[in-house]
Amino acid sequence: MTYVVKGECVDCKHTTCVKVCPVDCFYEGENTLVIDPDVCIDCAICEPECPVNAIVSDRKLKPEDHHWLDFNKEMSKEWPNIRKVKDPMPSFEEAAKYTADEQWAKVSRIPFKEID
Ligand code: SF4
Ligand code: F3S
C-alpha cells in the first residue's frame, strides 16, 4: 500500500508534503513530484499537507487515475529526492484550472534542475 501524487501537482509543486514524510520518499521532476511506492510506509501524514489534494491512497485511486500510480513508481526511480520545502511554481494558480487529461498531457518526465 502506498500514497500517490496525482495530476493536481502538475505545474504546481507546493512541496509542503515533503517536510512531513518520515521516510523521505518524495522525488522531484520538472513540474511535479512523485512518491516511491516501494519506500512509502502508508502513514498518511502527507495527505492533508497538500493544499490542492494531489495526494491520495492507492486504495482510493479511481480507475481512471490508476496511471498515476504507475507514473509515481516509474519516475521515482529516475528523479532526485526532495526533502526541503520550496516556493510553489509560478504557474500554481493556473494549474488549478487543468482538466485531468490536460494534467496528464502536461506532466514532464524531466528531472528538476536548479538554475543558478
Ligand atoms: Fe511519506 Fe507517509 Fe506520505 Fe508515504 S504516506 S509519502 S511515508 S508521508
Ligand atoms: Fe505537489 Fe501537493 Fe506536494 S502540489 S508538491 S503533492 S504539497
Q: Which ligand is nearest to the CA of 91?
A: 2
pLDDT, tens only, 4-38: 999 999 999 999 999 999 999 999 999 999 999 99
pLDDT mean over 97-105: 95
Of 113 and 33, which is predicted with more confidence? 33
Pocket-testing residue among 4, 5, 83, ligand 2, by greatest number of atoms within 8 A of Cβ: 5
Predicted local distance difference test score (pLDDT) of residue 29: 96
pLDDT for residue 50 is more than 70: yes
Q: Which residue has its alpha carbon closest to ligand 2 atom 7? A: 50
Predicted local distance difference test score (pLDDT) of residue 28: 97
Which residues have C-beta within 8 Å of that of residue 66, sequence separation ≥ 6? none
Predicted local distance difference test score (pLDDT) of residue 64: 93
Predicted local distance difference test score (pLDDT) of residue 3: 98
Which residues have C-beta within 8 Å of that of residue 23, sequence separation ≥ 6? 39, 40, 41
pLDDT, tens only, 77-90: 999 999 999 999 99
Distances in Å between the alpha carbon of 60 and those of 3, 6, 17, 52, 63? 9, 12, 18, 16, 9
Q: Tell me which of 40-44, 60-64, 107-111 is least confident.
A: 107-111
Predicted local distance difference test score (pLDDT) of residue 4: 98
Residues framing ligand 1 (Cβ under 6 A): 3, 20-21, 23, 25, 35, 40-46
